[in-house]
Structure 1
Amino acid sequence: MSVSSSSHTLCNSRGMRVQVNPRDASLQAWWAPDRYGRLADVLDHAMADPAGKAGSPHWQCEAASDAGLELRLAQDGLCVRLRYRLEDNGGLRIDCEAVAIAPARIGLAAPAFNLHGGGMVADHVLRLAADRYLPALPAADVTDVAGSAFDFRQPAPLGARLAWPGARPAGTVGFDHGFCLAADGLLREAARVADPASGRELRFFTTQPRLHLQSDSRRFCLATEALDIACGAATRHTFVYRLGVQDIDAFDISESVSVALNK
């Protein structure tokens, strides 16, 4: 199968379509159904992604099919392989394997979502499997989430939480914080986001010990941390973004979802 230099489209039996840019390994579009079966692109590309802007990657396509894509990056003694697979359960699985002849670090572009397909994300309800977070201040210590705006161990709407004191530093419009996860190397669900209006639900799984949450009024991003690659050793990580439809009543939400995110 030939692959365009600008995009390759993955498909599954549910009618989902995911466009991947084989040049920079980023996601360009993700068409997914809502509770009524209506398709919409749930990705937004206006949010800056520091990982995706680091350096000039030279990814090459190794293999491609309707459901899968394999990319390879080789430069400066570093070799990275990314394998994408769009599964019939709505999950986009990304397997990463990297080796290097010297210690290296690489960041992967992370997609920004709006599960409604446009408009605001204030009503998006977030649950995070994290009991500690990293404040946005440089060199700040890891802090317990208990009693703070960053305690998403029980589902809470993004907009309502940003109205809490101390939720965002001066001059910012949303979350921009790291969260600590279970550090056992197993693939675990780290986050779940639901949109009451469309019924779409995103579940994020990772083998990494941290994730970074970014948001503004129109989008949110669950980003993996940069990959540290030891000299001569193979580093492997797996990430899964799984989109489906969820009854919002399944979430035990104790806060109003009507607060605008940009207030």
Structure 2
Amino acid sequence: MLLGSIFTATLLLPLAVIAGQATRASFGHTADGQEVEIVTLTNSHGMRARVMSYGASVQSLLVPDRNGKLADVVLGYDTLDGYLERRQYFGATVGRYANRIAHGKFTLDGKSYSLSLNDGANSLHGGSKGFDQQVWKVLDVKPGPTPSVTMEYVSPDGDQGYPGNLTVKATYTLSDDNQLKVAYVASTDKPTIVNLSNHTYWNLGGEGSGSVMEQELMIPGDAITPVGDAAAIPTGAITPVAGTPYDFRIAKPIGRDIRDGDSQQLLFGHGYDMNWVLSRKEIESRVVARVEDPHSGRVMTIWSGKPGLQFYSGNFLDGTTVGKDHHIYRQGDAFVLEPQLFPDTPNHPDFGSARLEPGQTYRNTIVYRFGIDQAAKQ
């Protein structure tokens, strides 16, 4: 029996939970017969993460509110069919290159590469069949104080136009202090480019609970990489956020400035959909975002060492998606926060480098820390 919608409703926190549970089960099969597994990680507070091998994706995450009630705070579907029928990156690992590459082209060591185009004239999140649409191999499932699951996908040389055989592992770990960590590592057998991230759609009030516009967001970045038009390709400039709707250095409701008609960037993206500059190079892990839901009291703090953070305010959820428990997802019903390199970095040397050499290891460790603000709005 599949563990489907029973984890999507708001539940009372269990009185007693054995710490460190980790179980695996079948979640269905793809059209070509590949089995998709789902792994459930549970800690002693009743927090539960379900990660499926299709796209190495977060299928659900139960988090307690200030009253101890659990709710699933990520958008998605109750069954595998929803993920197969419509590509929306719900909870997914995105790569080889998260975000956009202009015209699907880049040059490495003097050789030009043409990628799969799936976003108009550009390549987005790895192309027409990125890592989000692959069935990953479940390598290891560990119970214990910090239950975890490790999944692997080997992307062959030439996959979606990228050079090199790339071996990628994603490890999801749930700690007893309500942290969900995803650690991405990758290695290659020839020079290539890599930029991995997680594309979970979050609603700290619970998926299906409505708009996230009152949820308060802090991003410690003092600049953005503006885009030139609705195709969302960076111009190459780096512009300060001070005095603009993009200034989240002090927490504010997501929706406070989202309707500022003087903002060309908001017009291009139909809301927030841009990269914040956190640093100009990769550094030690630090806070890259903090979100608080004033109604439930849930607080999520995100940690990473990557220099950029893509913030997307769910602008293209258009009411045609029926998700978990038959909830309809509409514009602004979720947000996405993706720690990563800057978009189109391979075509903007000033942005840094996405290059990975044989013998090197690519890493992106993202930590989602959950807590409660007891003083939040009742």
- TM-score, reference length from structure 1: 0.86
Equivalent residues in 2 for 1:1-263 (5 A)?
A: 2-4=24-26, 5-45=36-76, 48-49=88-89, 51=125, 54-55=129-130, 56-66=133-143, 67-76=147-156, 77-102=165-190, 103-117=192-206, 118-137=209-228, 138-140=233-235, 141-164=237-260, 165-166=262-263, 168-170=265-267, 172-182=269-279, 183-216=281-314, 217-225=332-340, 228-232=354-358, 233-247=360-374
Q: CA deviation at 1:241?
A: 1.1
The runs of 5 or more residues in structure 2 that have no matched partner are 1-22, 27-35, 78-86, 90-123, 157-164, 315-331, 343-353
Number of aligned residue pairs: 250
Deviations 1:167-224 (A, max 9, x none): 7533644210101113342111110000000000111101111110001311001013
Secondary structure of 2:186's counterpart equals strand
Q: Is the 8 A contact 2:50 2:59 kept in 1?
A: yes
Structure (1 or 2) with the greater helix fraction = 2
Give me the identity figure in percent.
Answer: 28
CA distance in 1, matches of 2:259, 2:50: 35
CA distance in 2, matches of 1:223, 1:163: 23
The higher-RCO structure (CA 8 Å, 6+ apart) is: 1
Deviations 1:131-187 (A, max 9, x none): 111224333212111111111111111111213331753364421010111334211
User: Structure 1 pair 190/171, CA: closer, same or farther in 2 (3 Å)?
Assistant: closer
Q: Is the 8 A contact 1:167 1:175 kept in 2?
A: no
Secondary structure of 1:162's counterpart equals coil
CA distance in 2, matches of 1:172, 1:207: 26
Structure (1 or 2) with the greater strand fraction = 1
Deviations 1:41-88 (A, max 9, x none): 111139944538752434111101341001111122111111110011
Which residue of the partner structure matches residue 4 of structure 2?
none
CA distance in 1, matches of 2:264, 2:61: 30
Segments of 4+ in structure 1 off by > 4 A? none
CA distance in 2, matches of 1:195, 1:189: 18
